[in-house]
Structures are given as C-alpha cells and as structure tokens.
Chains A and B, each alone.
Chain A
Amino acid sequence: MRTGSRRSVFRRARGDSPAKRAVIHAVLILACVMSVYPFLRVVSVSLRPSNQLLSTDLALIPPGASLENYRALIFERDFTIWLWNSLVVSAASVLVGLMLAATAAYAFSRWKFPGRRQGLLFLLTTQMIPAGMLLLPIYIMVVRLKLFNTYTGMAIAYSVGSVPFSIWILKGYYDTIPRELEEAALVDGASPLVAFYRVVIPLSTPALAIAGLFSFMTAWNDYMMARVMLQKPNMFTWPVGFQKLMDQFQTAWGQFAAASVLVAIPALALFLYSSKWLVSGMTLGGVKE
C-alpha cells in the first residue's frame, strides 16, 4: 500500500466532491443521533423532579432538573446491595473460571496430545449450546445442592460458561510466548509446572486480564440466570433489581433511569477501552493457529 493514501472502498472516495462529503457527514450524524439519543433520554429522565416524572416534554434537560432520583435510588432502594451482589458473584466466577482455564489453555498450547484438535473443536461447539437450554437442569442441580439464592451457586453457574472462551484467548496468547523461555527454566532444574507458574503466567498477565474482563462482563450483565437463581430481594444482582424497578414504571421510572446512568457510564468507558480485544476475541472462529 502506498504511504500517505488511506484505503477506501471506492477509489473515487479519495477525491470526494464537497456535496458528497456533506451527504456522508449528514448520514453519519443522523446515525449517531439515533444511536446515542435513547441513552441521552435516559439521562434526561433521571434528572426529572418527582412532580414531573411522567411528562410529555422532550427537552433533554428537563425544567427544574434535580438529582433527587439519584438520592432516592441510593438511600431508599437496595441499589448498593444489588451492585455489591453483582460484584461478588462476577468476581468469584472470574477467579474460578481463570483457575480452570489457565492450565488447560497451557496444555492445548504446548503439547500435541491425542484428542487435542477434538478438544478445541468441542470447546467451540459448547458455545453453540443456547444458555437457556441448560437453565433448567442447572437450576434443579443448584436447588438439590442447596445452593439456591447463594453467591456460591451463582458463581459456579457463571464460571464454567466462560471457561471455553477463556481457554481460546489464553491459548492464543501462550502460543506467542517462545518456548525457549521455559526451556531455559527447565535447564536450570525447574519442573515443567514450576516453569509454567514462574515464567508463563507472569508473562501472560495481559491475556489473563482480558479473559478475566470478558468473563466478568458476561456475569455482570446477565439477567436470565439471575432471574431464575435468585428469589430473595437481598440477593438480587443489579439486572434483576433494575427489572423490578422498571415494573414500577409509574413511580420509579426516574430512579430506574438514575440507576442506569450510574451503571452504564463505567460500562461504556470500559467497553470503549477494551473493544479492540473484544472484537478479535468474538470472531475467534476465524483465528488461525
């Protein structure tokens, strides 16, 4: 590719006429408005004072804007409990999932053992099983193990779901670490396991962080499993709590909006920061070994 020239679909695009450029910008601005407006509207509803909660006004900053909804949400609802429950469950599931995935991915990366190809393929296939299908058997298992309404039950249910995905990400990363590094450790008399924990694991912190982040987001944003497994209000994770808030639309719309803003802003920031890896991870079907 020539330096200085950016690639484009149609060569003519490089010399776009001003009229065409204006049209392109207009279309993109319209698309941006459509993509962002619903969230701006959530922000706007969250600022409504309680006497105007149900208004037909479309102004983005409502007349008499106040933070009353945020106050009510934090001090009169279980909002902090929901966030805490989500945090506990997601963090636990990430730690359990990574414990399982880190070593398994290493085995897939370094040894050509019989069944390796089938194993990797099988991991991809498990991702095709709709989550809803395993919901009933897992629910019954959790009830029988007396783990219903507990952090432990939720964390276990979430952790394994993300193990196959984490194994794929970690394996891809281990593949890029030269074997010579471990061999040097082996020459120095370390056992293969010591070489793994002392050499490979410290080098793969970025991959562990990414795999952990994605499993965290899966658990953090899940509604379906939480809806089934958690019946006690003091165990609700935020998606279940938010849904209960929205059920009281006429009285709690503003609080729901405030809660959404508080949860969405960190999520947006994190997503924009990590989206580069997210895309490559999700299309891993096309990744060559």
Chain B
Amino acid sequence: MIPLTWDIVARGLGEIGRLLGIVAVIVVVLEALAYLILHRLLKYKYSLPFMLLLPALVGVMALIIYPFGFNIYLAFSNMNMFRFKDFSVGLSYGITNFLDVFRLPVLQKVTFFQLLGRTILWTVVNVVCHVLGGLGLAILLNRPMRGKGVYRTLLVVPWALPQVISALAWRGEFHFQYGFVNLMLERLGLRPVPWLSDPRWAFVAVVLVNVWLGIPFMMVVLLGGLQSISQEYYDAAQIDGASGWQQFRSITMPLLKPVLTPAVILGVVWTFNNFNVIYLVTRGGPMEGTDLLVTSMFKAVFEFYRYGFGAAYAMVIFVFLFIFSAVYLRLSGGFKGAWES
C-alpha cells in the first residue's frame, strides 16, 4: 500500500500549478502575437474575437485535429510493438493495413464483418429498448400522482451511478455461483445461466446491463418532452372523439419528435461507441464473443500492439459512423436548430 503523504499532495499541487502557469504563459504569448499581427499589422475588423478564440482554437487543433491527422499518418505505417520508434511509412503499408481490416481476423478469431453486424445488432437492440422503456416510464410518470418525485429519483439511479462502478458491479453479479442474477434464478426454480462463459449468454448479459444503464436518460428527456405538450391538443382531440391510441399517434409522437431525434442520435452514437460496459463486464470475451468494433480496436492497439493496423481500423470505423450520422441528419433534419442563427 502507498500512503497518501504530504509529499504526494505537494507533488500533485506543484504539477497542477506548473501546468496552469505554462498554459497561462502560452495563452498570453498567443494573444500578444495575434494582437500584433491582426490588430496592428492588418488592422482587421474582427481582430478581437479572433484573439479571444485563438487559445481554444490552438487547443482543439493540437488535441483533436492534429491527432486525427496523425492517426491517418499512422494508418500508413508499419508501426507495432517491435517497431515503436523505427517504423516506416508508405502507401504499401497503408494498403496492407486497410485490406487486413477486411480480410484477416481483427483479433484472433472474429472478423470485421462479424463485428460490424454485432455492433449494429447491439446498437439497434439497445436504442430500441432504451426508447421503449424510457417512453413507457415517462408516460406512466406524466400524470398527477402520489410519490412521483420519489419514483423519478429512484429511476434515474442507473444513470447517476458512475458507469465504471455499475459495469464492474454487474460483472460480479453475473458470476455463475455468487452473483445475484443466478441466485435469484435458482430461487425461482430455474437453472443457473453461464453468463460469462458462454458467448451468447455473455452478449445477453452486456445488453441487459446497457439497457439498464440507458433507460433513465431517455425517460428524463422524453418526460421533459411530454410535459411541454399542451393539454389543449388532447382536449380538442377528445371532443372529436379520438381514442387514446389515436391521440398518442397523432399528437404525442409528432410533438415528441424534436426532443426524440437528438436524443436518439446521441443514444446511437454513445451505444455504438460504448467501451466501458463491454470491456469491464466481459472484456469482449469469452472467445471474442461480445467484442464490438470499438473494443476490438482498443484491444488490437493496446493488447495486441498493432498500432498501424489499429489506426487504419479506427479510420474505417469512423467512416461508418460518419456515414450513418450524415444520412440520419439529412433524413431527420436533426440538428437544424443548432446552426440556424
């Protein structure tokens, strides 16, 4: 055990202080340069806003744009564990890396197309369950009733818990002998399920965990949406003799759409990219049976040390996600409000 001593505290504070100092100095230098060039030299009308933007712009460039470009560069290299420093870059390495993604197993066994199919299945099942579960609970809660606040608070607990904790706790609870899931099944007279040693059951287990985690977010967002729908629409429909289902279909659903669309996009992107649940509950196992695109990429890079290949693989995954987002945004007009200023 390492005790938390004053030495360690002082070292931490010293390191933060130094970092903040360096960042402040860099910001001041950038601002001064921008001032001299834009304001004094070019007399640019918008020199002040660009000065204000510059630090963030440099930060985003250095830590988002540059790594993005660097990743493309790495995709055209033969970098791996044995060639971490003296790797070479060339078109032929790139072609090999990209072809390897599609023609060889990504890890030891599972192939890209299996992973793609599994990730799509995972995303669809999860998001559908999140929306249905969230919508159901939101509808039940959206009425005058006793204990509404208590229900709402208890129902958001899965979202409020740090994901790492829930995922690791679920891993324990899926233990064949001591986890509560099997203990309860046994009390009900059912046979215990080999949750973590059979690939199919392991996939069911991670889906269950992620559905449990994701419903509260949808519930809260949809409840907000339901509460903003004016009662007058329902009153009018009532007079026209519309049934409950008709009211739901022609009032609730269309008016819920502006809230639902961004929530579904976020849900899809989060679920598609989910790493914690898979990696912490099953590690992608057994026999790579629960690996998704993102976890297999992580493992290819940080457990199999195939850096060049991993970079190419990351590009391929990004392109798939990008195409999906573009198509979805076009079809639904999703983020329209965000940039129409």
Contacts and interface: CB of A to CB of B under 8 A. Distances in A.
B241 to A, nearest CB: 12
B220 interface: yes
Interface stretch (B101-109, B124-132, B198-206, B224-232): B224-232
Interface in B269-316: 269, 272-273, 275-276, 279-280, 294, 297-298, 301-302, 307, 310-311, 314-315
B265 A285 contact: yes
B221 interface: yes
Given A111-B48, A283-B263, A288 B337 contact: yes
A187 interface: no
Given A9-B252, A136-B71, A81 B8 contact: yes
B74 A99 contact: no
B60 to A, nearest CB: 6
A152 interface: yes
B155 A35 contact: yes
A80 interface: yes
B155 A32 contact: yes
B64 A134 contact: yes
Interface stretch (B90-98, B110-118, B138-146): B138-146
A18 interface: no
B160 interface: yes
A106 B52 contact: yes
A164 interface: yes
Nearest to B311: A136
A38 B15 contact: no
Interface in B156-191: 156-166, 168-173, 175, 177-178, 180, 183-184, 187
A208 interface: no
B230 A1 contact: yes
Contacts of A12: 244
B314 A263 contact: no
A59 B338 CA distance: 51
A15 to B, nearest CB: 11
B1 interface: yes
Contact of A9 (B57, B59, B248, B339): B248
Interface in A258-281: 260, 263-264, 267-268, 271-272, 275, 279
A104 B310 CA distance: 34
Given A104-B57, A283-B221, A128 B269 contact: yes
Given A9-B142, A260-B169, A96 B23 contact: yes
A249 B269 contact: no
B302 to A, nearest CB: 6
Given A6-B143, A14-B143, A134-B64, A111 B46 contact: yes
Interface in A73-123: 75-78, 80-81, 84-85, 88, 91-92, 95-96, 99-101, 103-104, 106-108, 110-111, 113-114, 117, 119-121, 123
Interface in A207-255: 220-221, 223-224, 227-228, 233-234, 239, 242-243, 246, 249, 253
Given A13-B143, A55-B178, A152-B15, A34 B338 contact: no
A243 B168 contact: yes
B168 A242 contact: yes
A129 B68 contact: yes
A110 B3 CA distance: 50
Given A111-B48, A141-B70, A279 B221 contact: yes
A229 B277 CA distance: 20
Given A27-B140, A103-B56, A38 B220 contact: no
B164 A221 contact: yes
A186 interface: no
B53 A107 contact: yes
A252 to B, nearest CB: 10
A35 to B, nearest CB: 5
B235 A11 contact: yes
Contacts of B231: 1-2, 5, 7-8, 11
A57 B40 CA distance: 76
Interface in A145-168: 150-152, 155-157, 159-161, 163-164, 167
A58 B221 CA distance: 34
Contact of B4 (A84, A137, A228): A84
B298 A38 contact: no
Contact of A134 (B68, B170, B247, B262): B68
Nearest to A240: B164
B19 A28 contact: no
Given A55-B178, A150-B15, A21 B169 contact: no
Given A134-B68, A260-B165, A41 B180 contact: yes
B162 A263 contact: yes
A92 B337 contact: no
B156 A99 contact: no
A113 B64 contact: no
A114 B9 CA distance: 46
29 contacts: A8-B231, A24-B143, A35-B155, A38-B170, A39-B166, A41-B169, A42-B165, A45-B172, A56-B183, A58-B180, A95-B16, A103-B53, A104-B53, A107-B52, A120-B338, A130-B294, A132-B314, A133-B314, A134-B71, A136-B314, A138-B67, A155-B19, A223-B280, A234-B2, A234-B8, A256-B168, A260-B169, A264-B162, A288-B340
Given A32-B155, A100-B27, 6 more contacts: A9-B234, A35-B157, A92-B15, A134-B64, A137-B311, A160-B62
